[in-house]
Structure 1
Amino acid sequence: MKFIASTLILLLSASLTLADVRFESKKLEDNIYTVFGAGGFTGGNHLLISGDDGVILVDTSMPDYADMLIATIDDLVDEDEVDFLINTHLHADHVANNGFFADEGATIIAHQGTYDTLKNKGLVSGGGVSDAGENMLPHVVFSQSMTLYLNGLTIELSHIPNAHTLSDIIVYIPEKNMIHVGDMLFNGIFPFIDLNNGGDVDGYIAGQKQILDMIDDETKVVAGHGPFASKADLKKAHDMLVDARSIIAMHKNKGKSEDEVVEANPLKKYHDDWNWGFITTERMTRQVYRGL
């Protein structure tokens, strides 16, 4: 199943209403769940952890769904507040409800680049850039890595430089062999590489390789968008992108313009399986061409 999976999809089908949209969950371990939208686009996939030190949530969902997300959290772990919120990167579908959770007492943790973008540029979404309120700003930031010791777990936060954006982080829990990779994985669909906000095709490939080297075949992988994943899913996405880059680079190196490469349809073999509403085969071709 392919999920609508990007901050830049803001318009749902006219047949959908807010009532159609809901959160669903998958239990990964005792007190650890992945939470994800169904019936429409709610934002990125979440990781939810509860324990004696409080409730930890990875990413925030889109603004319309904050109350629904809290209700889902309450159903799962019998808590209606989030104590620690981790942003995996700067895009609106991962940070838009920062203010909501901060006002309820959450401590927000993010990469320095997420803080800087929200403060100096604003909230980056499909509609452009809008003002970010002061309550959206992360409280704790880091540049390379940070380790949290909460709820009896070691939670390792690591920066993946210039990949999907300039501020991507992954959330790894070694004791549970579990990782949330943010938008370093659009599982089963073409990825969005935000070239306007520090994203880079080669950086994305290198970041995926870095994650592949960290994990094994049994690792539980929460993708930023799309279904719950495995190392095999990440490798499939990585191999597709490596191949797409090679194919488009060959055309570009022959002196073809962007439009000429698009006309040649070099990613035709991936269209049926990877094309989707936001990153179509054409747009995938264009973003890779521009990123070379």
Structure 2
Amino acid sequence: MKGMNSRITRLGNGIAAAVLLISSPLAIADRFKDIEITASPLAENIYMLTGSGGNMAAVANPDGVLLIDSQYAELAEKIRAKLKTLSQGELTTLINTHMHGDHVGGNAALAANANIIAHKNVQLRLSNNANFDPAGLPKTVIEQSTTLKHGDTTLILEPMPASHTDGDILIWFPEQNIVHMGDLLFQGRFPFVDTSNGGNVQQYIENTRYVLSKIDDNTQVIPGHGELTNKAGLAAELSMLEQTLALVQAMREQGLTEEQMIEQGLGEAFKSWHWNFITEARWIRTLYQATQS
């Protein structure tokens, strides 16, 4: 349990730095000093990579590597070194699941010479971010479902209605029965719904239902944060989303204020979903805003 808490603490610190941009460069570099990049095989030439920030995935063919998300610039050399253990080919394609810094921060450092692909809104938002290195901007933008071939591997990039942000895409591996959900899934914990960048709680729930309708019990589901999961894990996440939203709606109907809801809490059943970035209190605030009419 201690190890899990340590991983969650690093995750929360990473997202907070990416979203709030309050950590100094020295503090960030020091925080990444002991981070290791791990690669877990999911299918032939397909891997899930973890480090600090959003979960990555790679298609590592001998003649070239496709990477999904890039974590932080400070981790670029570690990520590059790990990719070289999977393939001696160069990184030719980088796909961003959305625009948050813990998923795009390494774009320029890793993939300035690669084809960077993302939702149109990701390019728009990053272009307007004066702190983002333009060498890492998407070169190819998508607005509708797009099929991509990397060697013998087929990927389908599917833009989703705004939920986590307004630039989320799913990445499907139809032949291998794998889906990378980006931050449309925070496995086993309350999610971050970034309303300042187009996020929407109800659509987050609808998108979760949609993915569940498309997968089976053998599907490997890569979350934006958390452990590799499956249909049962995603169903548990949906149940949490639906139940906590209903609880907040019921408390609102009882006349409770936002602060009274936080004081009352969501109950023992949801204590394990609390973590240091999206605490129970912060999730209640998000749901409270979502139930305003």
Alpha-carbon RMSD: 2.0
1:234 aligns with 2:227: no
Query: What is residue 245 of structure 2 aligned with on the other side?
Result: 245
Query: What is residue 78 of structure 2 aligned with on the other side?
Result: 68
Query: What is residue 283 of structure 2 aligned with on the other side?
Result: 284
AA matched with 2:86: L
1:71 and 1:213 mapped to 2: Cα distance? 37
Q: Can you list the C-alpha shifts for 1:195-243, whole angstroms capped at 9, x where unaligned?
A: 1111110010001111111110000111110111111111101110110
Query: What is residue 111 of structure 2 aligned with on the other side?
Result: 102
Cα shift at 1:190: 1.1
Residue aligned with 1:20, SS: coil
Q: Can you list the C-alpha shifts for 1:141-178, whole angstroms capped at 9, x where unaligned?
A: 01122110221122101111111111110100110001
Mapping of 1:101-120 within 5 angstroms? 101-103=110-112, 105-120=113-128
Mapping of 1:79-158 within 5 angstroms? 79=89, 81-103=90-112, 105-120=113-128, 122=129, 131-158=131-158
Query: What is residue 126 of structure 1 aligned with on the other side?
Result: none
1:87 and 1:20 mapped to 2: Cα distance? 25
1:232 and 1:151 mapped to 2: Cα distance? 31
Mapping of 1:1-292 within 5 angstroms? 1=4, 3-4=7-8, 5=11, 7-10=14-17, 18-37=32-51, 42-51=52-61, 54-79=64-89, 81-103=90-112, 105-120=113-128, 122=129, 131-271=131-271, 273-292=272-291
TM-score calculated relative to the size of structure 2: 0.88
Gaps of 5+ in 2: 18-22
AA matched with 2:118: A
Residue aligned with 1:84, SS: strand
Cα shift at 1:249: 1.0
Query: What is residue 20 of structure 2 aligned with on the other side?
Result: none
Cα shift at 1:267: 4.3
AA matched with 1:101: L
1:153 and 1:55 mapped to 2: Cα distance? 11
2:246 and 2:185 mapped to 1: Cα distance? 19
Distance 1:195 1:131, change over 3 A: same
TM-score calculated relative to the size of structure 1: 0.89
More off after superposition, 163-172 vs 50-59: 50-59
1:267 and 1:161 mapped to 2: Cα distance? 31
2:188 and 2:48 mapped to 1: Cα distance? 18
Cα shift at 1:258: 1.3
AA matched with 2:208: Q
2:31 and 2:280 mapped to 1: Cα distance? 28
| Contact 2:60/2:83 (<8 A) preserved | no
Identity %: 35
1:150 and 1:208 mapped to 2: Cα distance? 27
AA matched with 1:59: D
Residue aligned with 1:22, SS: coil
Gaps of 5+ in 1: 123-129
| Contact 2:190/2:273 (<8 A) preserved | yes
1:266 and 1:178 mapped to 2: Cα distance? 33
| Contact 2:64/2:91 (<8 A) preserved | yes
1:180 and 1:53 mapped to 2: Cα distance? 23
Which one has the bigger helix percentage? 2
2:200 and 2:255 mapped to 1: Cα distance? 21
Residue aligned with 2:57, SS: strand
Q: Can you list the C-alpha shifts for 1:4-54, whole angstroms capped at 9, x where unaligned?
A: 33553337x99x8544210112111121111101xxxx2111110022662
Cα shift at 1:256: 2.6
Residue aligned with 2:66, SS: strand
Cα shift at 1:253: 2.9
